[in-house]
């Protein structure tokens, strides 16, 4: 039966709901819910036909530009089931803004921020019984925009789709909060200034997989990326932002066009500063990191991202030398950040920053 929500999103509920997964073994990105959000864009007509439909394969022309020139951008955010029954989103308006800044860089249309929030909320309401309730689990939402016009010339597309799918997830890394071993990548680079590093475009991730494969072959979980010009400064870790506690300061690479402005990154910086910890955004060279690791000043290292939240780094390989960070375990700051962020996200702790937003029942 078709219905229409208050903001004009047409809702077609599935008549064949899927069996739910084993909530205790979700891992990351394996299961998809019963519905998805879709909206179409045509040049001159704008966005229209926003709808929730049963989750299903897409039908696209093989010449659709997304397939040939990687005209795709995406976002990632989560819906959390609070113990009191509320469903919470974490700073979804930041994802709405970032989707648009990615879209502008890839010459795609922007999507109204209000409409993005409504799309995400309407999908979560339609699939509310897919929001997992076990500790550490959530419903990962993946909004993405693709160029759908069939055309092989290299130019801007005239038609696009915005789609949102949802996936109940557990921990991103099988290690969970256990510290991972990281390898400093000195051959491949992820991004350069002036390129697309600050966007969430699929191409960035496609280009990164070869280094991840290499790291895994060498016995590491992920790579630490260096800047694309001098291969001297730290940029990101795997698909996450990275932070280091050196002495009393937490240092993270400054945003400069090649680094993703992570929502978790900015939340961690705000939390640290609210605790009176000096959190600095600046360039950090491998040499400085190496010296800090050698002298014992490097107390903690961790990745930050929506998927893994905080991912402690236990050891770093620099120039063939494997350096353990402190005792190789989870540092106190990493642990406190993880507990506080997840506490706010799941509604267990007060939210003094106004970061969470409730998905209403209507």
CB neighbour burial string for 269-303, b if at least 16 within 10 angstroms, e if fewer? bebbeeeebebebeebebebbbebbeeebbbbbbb
**243 phi/psi in degrees, rounded to 5:** -135, 150
Judged by CB under 6 A, which stretch of 88-96, 279-287, 302-310, 336-344 contacts ligand COI? 302-310
Q: Minimum distance from CB of 167 to ligand COI (Å)?
A: 10
CA distance 291 to 3: 62
Which residue among 81, 123, 147, 240 contacts ligand COI (CB under 6 A)?
240
For position 239 contacting ligand COI by CB under 6 A, the verdict is: yes
For position 305 contacting ligand COI by CB under 6 A, the verdict is: yes
Q: What would the x/- binding string for ligand COI be over residues 194 to 233, using CB under 6 A? A: ----------------------------------------
Judged by CB under 6 A, which stretch of 100-108, 181-189, 242-250, 305-313 contacts ligand COI? 305-313
Which residue among 36, 131, 307, 315 contacts ligand COI (CB under 6 A)?
307
CA distance 67 to 71: 8
Total chain residues near ligand COI (CB under 6 A)? 7
CA distance 75 to 144: 6
98-157 binders of ligand COI (CB under 6 A): none
Q: Minimum distance from CB of 282 to ligand COI (Å)?
A: 22
With H, G, I as helix, E, B as strand and everything else as coil, classify residue 232: coil
Q: Minimum distance from CB of 250 to ligand COI (Å)?
A: 18
| Residue 321, C-beta contacts closer than 8 angstroms, at least 6 positions apart | none
For position 252 contacting ligand COI by CB under 6 A, the verdict is: no
For the chain, give the longest Cα–Cα distance. Answer: 66
For position 317 contacting ligand COI by CB under 6 A, the verdict is: no
Taking Cα atoms as reference points, which of 228, 296, 217, 216 lies closest to residue 259?
Answer: 228
Q: 157 vs 356, which CB is nearer to ligand COI?
A: 356
Q: Kindly give the pairing relationship between strand 298-305 and strand 241-246.
A: antiparallel
Question: Using CB atoms, what's the residue nearest to ligand COI?
Answer: 305
Looking at the chain, list the stretches that DSSP marks H as alpha helix, in order from N- to C-terminal side. 65-69, 92-105, 113-126, 202-217, 263-274, 286-295, 332-345
Q: 157 vs 241, which CB is nearer to ligand COI?
A: 241
Work out whether the CA dihedral 357, 135, 307, 33 comes out positive or negative: negative
For position 76 contacting ligand COI by CB under 6 A, the verdict is: yes
| Residue 81, C-beta contacts closer than 8 angstroms, at least 6 positions apart | 87, 131, 132, 133, 138, 346
Q: 172 vs 220, which CB is nearer to ligand COI?
A: 172
- Note the Cα 271 to chain centre separation in Å: 19
Q: 147 vs 171, which CB is nearer to ligand COI?
A: 171
Which residue among 137, 148, 208, 306 contacts ligand COI (CB under 6 A)?
306
Judged by CB under 6 A, which stretch of 38-46, 58-66, 188-196, 300-308 contacts ligand COI? 300-308
Contact set with ligand COI (CB under 6 A): 76, 239-240, 305-308
């Amino acid at each position: 039966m078709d219905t229409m929500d208050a903001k004009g999103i047409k809702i077609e509920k599935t008549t064949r709901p899927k069996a739910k997964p084993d909530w205790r073994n979700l891992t990351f990105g394996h299961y998809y819910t019963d519905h998805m959000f879709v909206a179409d864009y045509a040049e001159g007509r704008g966005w229209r036909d926003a709808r929730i439909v049963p989750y299903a394969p897409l039908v696209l022309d093989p010449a659709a530009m997304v397939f040939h020139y990687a005209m795709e951008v995406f976002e990632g955010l989560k819906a959390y089931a609070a113990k009191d029954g509320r469903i919470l989103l974490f700073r979804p308006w930041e994802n709405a803004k970032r989707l648009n800044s990615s879209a502008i860089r890839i010459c795609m249309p922007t999507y109204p921020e209000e409409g993005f929030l409504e799309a995400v909320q309407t999908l979560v309401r339609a699939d509310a019984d897919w929001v997992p309730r076990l500790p550490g689990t959530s419903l990962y939402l993946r909004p993405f925009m693709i160029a759908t016009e069939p055309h092989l010339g290299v130019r801007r597309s005239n038609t696009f789709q915005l789609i949102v799918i949802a996936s109940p997830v557990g921990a991103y890394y099988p290690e969970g909060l256990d510290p991972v071993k990281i390898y400093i990548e000195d051959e491949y680079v992820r991004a350069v200034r002036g390129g697309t590093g600050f966007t969430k475009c699929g191409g960035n991730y496609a280009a990164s997989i070869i280094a991840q494969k290499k790291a895994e072959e060498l016995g590491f979980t992920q790579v630490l990326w260096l800047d694309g010009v001098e291969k001297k400064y730290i940029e990101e870790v795997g698909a996450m932002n990275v932070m280091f506690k050196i002495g009393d300061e937490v240092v993270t690479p400054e945003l400069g066009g090649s680094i993703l402005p992570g929502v978790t990154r900015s939340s961690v910086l705000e939390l640290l500063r609210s605790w009176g910890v000096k959190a600095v955004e600046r360039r950090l060279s491998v040499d400085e990191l190496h010296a800090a690791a050698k002298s014992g000043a490097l107390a903690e290292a961790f990745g930050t991202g929506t998927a893994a939240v905080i991912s402690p780094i236990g050891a770093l390989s620099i120039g063939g030398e494997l350096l353990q960070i402190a005792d190789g375990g989870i540092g106190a700051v990493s642990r406190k950040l993880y507990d506080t962020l997840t506490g706010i996200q799941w509604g267990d702790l007060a939210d003094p920053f106004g970061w969470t937003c409730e998905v209403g029942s209507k």
